[in-house]
Structure formats: C-alpha cells, structure tokens
C-alpha cells in the first residue's frame, strides 16, 4: 500500500487522500457523474469539482500548480447539467501502475 501512495506523491506531492480515492473510484466507474462521485467518496460536490479541476488537463482555475492531466470532465449528452468524469490515458497508466505496485495487478 505504501508503494502506491509514494507513486501518487511522486506525481504530485500535494495530492490528497480524497483525490486518490476519487481517481480510484473513477477507474472503477468510468463516466461517473460528479454528483455520483461525491456520494461514493463522501465529499461535497464542490470538493469534487475542485479536485477534477486540479487533476484535469486545465489545472487549477487560479493558475497555481501544474495540470496533472489525469481526468477529463465532459457534459453528458442530452443533459447539459450532468458532468461525467473519466480517466485520461495518463490517468489510466497511473492507475495501472498503482495496481501493479499495490496489488500485483488486480484492483
């Protein structure tokens, strides 16, 4: 388990446990809505929104810090109010590496 946490810290030293939880949840439920993600991870919707910004290609809205490029957020087709979250190829690689380091390949 510690090896997996070190892996995330190597990507971003400031990454929070709740953000790691969100990444793992998105890996298990690709296309999950931000609302469902908030419920699954037991955080507020605004916390999910901020975390998605930080872990997306765009990065933080205030311009501080680097864009991690691990997630994408897109509006659901047919319902512009719902935003769905998926891993980017970089996010998939990180989760695959995490699984290998932590669980020997299975999540």
From the list 7, 2, 5, 42, the residue with the least C-alpha distance to 22 is: 42
**Per-residue model confidence (pLDDT) at position 83:** 93
Q: What is the rounded distance in angstroms from the CA atom of residue 94 to the CA atom of residue 22?
A: 13
**Per-residue model confidence (pLDDT) at position 28:** 96
Give the number of other Cβ atoms within 10 Å of residue 85's Cβ.
Answer: 26
> Which pTM value belongs to this model?
0.82
Contacts of residue 11, Cβ cutoff 8 Å, sequence gap at least 6: 68, 70, 94
**Per-residue model confidence (pLDDT) at position 43:** 95
Query: Does residue 3 have a pLDDT over 80?
Result: no
Per-residue pLDDT band for 97 (boundaries 50, 70, 90) equals confident
For 76-99, give the secondary structure using H, E and C.
Answer: ECCEEEEEEEEECHHHHHHHHHHH
Q: Each residue of 14-30: pLDDT tens digit?
A: 778 888 899 999 999 99
Q: Each residue of 45-65: pLDDT tens digit?
A: 999 998 998 898 765 555 565
**Is there a contact between 107 and 28 (Cβ–Cβ < 8 Å)?**
yes
Per DSSP, the three-state class of 75 is strand
């Amino acid at each position: 388990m510690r090896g997996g946490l070190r892996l995330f810290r190597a990507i971003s030293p400031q990454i929070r446990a709740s953000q790691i939880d969100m990444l793992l949840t998105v890996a298990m439920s690709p296309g999950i809505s931000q609302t469902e993600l908030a419920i699954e991870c037991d955080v507020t919707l605004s916390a999910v929104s901020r975390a998605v910004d930080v872990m997306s290609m765009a990065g933080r809205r205030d311009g501080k810090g680097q864009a991690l490029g691990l997630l994408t957020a897109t509006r659901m087709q047919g319902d512009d109010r719902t935003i769905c979250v998926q891993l980017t190829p970089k996010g998939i690689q990180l989760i695959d590496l995490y699984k290998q380091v932590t669980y020997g390949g299975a999540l």
